Chain A
Amino acid sequence: MSETDVKPALTPGVRLGPLSFVWRPWLVLVTLVLAAATFLVFCLSISVGDFPIGLSRVMATLVGRGEQVDEFVIMDLRMPRALAGLVVGIALGVSGAITQSVARNPLASPDILGITGGASAVAVFSVTVSGGTAAAVIDSIGLSAAALAGGLCTGLLVYFLAWRRGVDGFRLILIGISVSAVTQAITTWLLVSADIRDVARAQAWLVGSLENRSWDQVWVAFWCSLGLLVVVAAAAFQFKPLHLGDDIAAGLGVRFGRVRAVLLLCAVLLAAVAVSSAGPVPFVALVAPQVAMRLTRRPTPPLIASGLFGALLLIGADLTARAVLPNNLPVGVVTAAIGGPFLVYLLVRANLKNPK
């Protein structure tokens, strides 16, 4: 009986000063491959357009040795869009990984925390309703900022409503679903009662898009995300035992209440940054962690790989929309069209392989 207690560790650990982690070659390999693929797609996204630029010239420009024409086209025109895709994709992927881990539910995505719903309702309101004080306020601060404010308010509302001597993952999700249902209903109602031309514009915003990014917008999103990711990384070292459930985590000495609160807040803010920069791009946050989990063969969504896959999916979708498809479809349509079937493919493949 007591032999089980002295079982040797299955995977060797690595210790670097105060930090220790488990060495998992496959996880590292997949993460590196994902990073390389993301970088490649990023460069491709910059190279493709009305004025094609070869990959070698893209690389040269990126390290600061490009020709002047390339320099202008890349740095002024294409870089903001590609970078926005990168930032938004990573933010959505990481946010989704956190939400799904904390909630221990693969259907949980940051959409459920209310940000997307709140932002959408405010954006649709500002597109379809003109006149009145509210519309004037929104006009003066701009659509993106208004949507961001709406999203954050809803997110915080969900969080506070779910607060009852601590935040319980299940309660948070049910409250989030309720609040999202309300914002969804308001959006639907606004759409039903609006003029059809405004509806088309609102619908385009609701799908999510990377069009017309400026450097200003990108830098804001970039620095916000970077700051949040640092916090996430710091908290993530206490993250693992959370999957085991509150009681075990507490037994292992994790102050789970605080860690979880910090992580969830980061997830909310990351999603808000993403929504304010690209609109509510659907499904990246839901699909990326699930795909990353299956690619890395981990039982829980890995943070870095989820972020990278999110970026890969978003930039790849944007690239596909611009280079392959007619009509200049918004990126959200393509992320969903690629992400959905890919998730199903992974599921079917896993089912065919593993007898369960």
Chain B
Amino acid sequence: MSTTAVERPVPRGATESRRRRVVGLGVLAAVLVIAAAASLAVGARALTPAEVWHGLFAGPESDQRLTEIRLIVQTVRVPRTVLAVVAGIALGVGGALIQGYTRNPIADTGLLGVNAGASFAVVTVVAVFGFSNPFQYVWFGFLGAAVSGVVVFGLASIGRGAGNPLTLALAGQGITVFLAAMTTAVSLSDTQSLNALRFWNAGSVAGVEFDVIWPVTAFIAVGLVLALATLPALNLLNLGEDVARGLGVNIAVSRTVGILAITLLAGAATAACGPIAFLGLMVAHVARYLTGPDYRWLVPYAGLLGAVVLLVCDIVGRLVVRPGELEAGVVVALLGAPFFAVLVWRGKFKSA
């Protein structure tokens, strides 16, 4: 039978299921560490564990070969590994939260308009200023994501229905639609921004340096703290607004904080990697299948799953079309979607 963890009668008491969840979380964290180690070792030039270790911790060397390895590890492999972990966590947590706050099981992190806002900002600055380097437009991407997230939430909060999940989802679609049209209009009239757009749209964790990654990580960290803070309220909100209000939840405040968290998480991740579609949606469902509907468990699971999936997909992307690379965002869809479809087909998911 295809029942989720919570619908099952609890057979061995709550402690048992709690222990199982803690173990699951530990397993996921271990898998993440292994994947991160693999991400350091795998690539155009495969490295042995000893070489990776040396590359990470040794100082300058006279040996040409070791210096080269150190350079590869420290300037290429470490940044993209860190970014994949950080962005994966952000998108996973964001995906779980947005499905919770909109109470829509097909909502994803792009829904608040953050992807569309980031894309629009990127093509516009490329068309206007002629930027050619991703470092130059990352910040505009984040700005665009943040602005459109705020606009969507603002529009959905006007009037008495403030932050009604349905209004939020539809307003997000409306704004996304509009910005996507503007993006197309700009990119069709400017070859350079069309060129930037197609690479940006693919979604990749490669080629980003630490001077971009640290600030992005800071935004994501703030988003994570806010996200964790709202989880108990989110649990109650999913019992229905009246129940939640009766139990003392300030609905407007908890929604605002939640949406702010999603905007920070998805906006920062998208600015750094481009829109990575489907990741958040997929891991949120898988996490719900593993943990049941309690968001205090679901969200950490989704975050770790997101990081693992993005890391693994990035590694696979480096291996399959050598000497070239397949962008992580493309691999996420190509690998993740069939896997997800099998789970759906076997009846693993219930609508939220």
Q: For B104, give its contact among A107, A191, A344 (CB under 8 Å).
A: A107
Question: Interface size (A, Cβ < 8 Å)?
Answer: 60
In the complex, are the beta carbons of A351 and B194 less than 8 A apart? Answer: no
Q: Is B253 in the interface zone, CB < 8 Å from A? A: no
Q: Is A290 in the interface zone, CB < 8 Å from B? A: yes
Q: Is B326 in the interface zone, CB < 8 Å from A? A: yes
In the complex, are the beta carbons of A352 and B277 less than 8 A apart? Answer: no
In the complex, are the beta carbons of A200 and B341 less than 8 A apart? Answer: no
**What is the CA–CA distance of A112 and B166 in the complex, to the nearest angstrom?**
18
Across chains A and B, which 6 residue pairs bring their CB atoms closest together, nearest first? A336-B181, A340-B177, A340-B178, A351-B159, A185-B333, A344-B174
In the complex, are the beta carbons of A340 and B195 less than 8 A apart? Answer: no
In the complex, are the beta carbons of B345 and A351 less than 8 A apart? Answer: no
Q: Is A350 in the interface zone, CB < 8 Å from B? A: yes
- In chain A, positions 337-356 with a C-beta closer than 8 Å to chain B are 337, 339-344, 347-348, 350-356
Q: Give the shortest distance, in Å, between B122 (CB) and chain A (any CB).
A: 15
* B199, closest chain A residue (CB): A192
In the complex, are the beta carbons of A181 and B337 less than 8 A apart? Answer: yes
* Chain B interface residue bracket vs A: 35 or more
Question: Which A residues have a C-beta under 8 Å from some C-beta of B?
Answer: 105-108, 112, 161-162, 164, 170-171, 173-175, 177-179, 181-182, 184-186, 188-189, 191-192, 196, 199-200, 203-204, 207, 282-283, 286-287, 290, 327, 329-330, 332-337, 339-344, 347-348, 350-356
Binds A, one of B18-26, B182-190, B207-215: B182-190
Q: For B174, give its contact among A178, A200, A347 (CB under 8 Å).
A: A347
Q: Is B131 in the interface zone, CB < 8 Å from A? A: no
Q: Is B229 in the interface zone, CB < 8 Å from A? A: no
Give me 17 A-to-B residue pairs in the complex whose CB atoms sit less than 8 angstroms apart, sorted by A's number. Answer: A164-B347, A171-B345, A175-B344, A181-B278, A188-B198, A191-B198, A282-B180, A335-B181, A336-B178, A336-B181, A340-B175, A340-B176, A343-B170, A350-B167, A351-B158, A356-B160, A356-B164
Q: Is the interface of A mostly helix, strand, loop or mixed?
A: helix
Q: For A181, give its contact among B104, B170, B187, B277 (CB under 8 Å).
A: B277
Which residues does chain B contribute within 8 Å of A334, judged by CB atoms? 181
Q: Is the interface of B mostly helix, strand, loop or mixed?
A: helix
**What is the CA–CA distance of A164 and B187 in the complex, to the nearest angstrom?**
43
Q: Give the shortest distance, in Å, between B279 (CB) and chain A (any CB).
A: 10
In the complex, are the beta carbons of B106 and A344 less than 8 A apart? Answer: no
A348 touching B105 in the complex, CB below 8 Å, given contacts A106-B170, A336-B177? no
Q: Is B107 in the interface zone, CB < 8 Å from A? A: yes
In the complex, are the beta carbons of A337 and B178 less than 8 A apart? Answer: yes
Which residues does chain A contribute within 8 Å of B202, judged by CB atoms? 188-189, 191-192
Which residues does chain A contribute within 8 Å of B53, judged by CB atoms? none
In the complex, are the beta carbons of A177 and B106 less than 8 A apart? Answer: yes
